[in-house]
Amino acid sequence: MKTLFTTLYVIICTTMLLACSSSYDPDEAAERGDVVDLHGVITNAERLDEFLGNIEENHSDKVRVTQYTEEADPIYIDLAYDGETVKFKYDNTHDEYAKGKVRTSVCIGISKEVTDKKIEYKLTGCSGKNSDLADSFSLRIQGKQLK
């Protein structure tokens, strides 16, 4: 009888822990103001334009880009402008199939390239230990999402 209660207790505690650690789903991320990249479908892209505007006006600002893997695991990219540089933070610790690291770099700014087929945001002038990762950051809006 004591073993049964112990087993039930462990099952209940495990279930509660799993329920409390629910994933950061794309709808929640969008509601919180993240720029969401769900397999190429971008939500809240206008937030990047606001971020660019604040950089041009020399106002501190920050924005989170949340990208989702095929397995629906979030990868967080935080961009923070402090009045001088853009700090880049890449966090894939919630990606089940990644090695789970937080990597950072510093960049001079962010660019926006507009053509008739796409809008693309990229970091510029990145330096530091993980500058190659920051330099490879790109958010592309294309197809039906163009307005």
For residues 147 and 138, give the distance between their C-alpha atoms in angstroms, rounded to a whole number: 19
CA atoms of 26 and 67, how far apart (whole Å): 9
Amino acid 100: pLDDT: 86
pLDDT per residue as tens digits for the range 81-93? 999 999 999 999 9
Query: Residue 117 and residue 18: Cα distance in Å, rounded?
Result: 43
Alpha-carbon distance 33 to 45, whole Å? 10
Q: Is the dihedral of CA 94, 95, 97, 100 positive or negative?
A: negative
How would you list the strands of the sheet with 102-107, edge to edge? 41-43, 35-38, 61-68, 74-81, 86-91, 102-107
pTM greater than 0.85: no
* Token pair 């990597």 in the structure block, residue: 103
pLDDT tens digit sequence for 39-66: 989 999 999 999 999 999 999 999 999 9
More confident residue, 10 or 113: 113
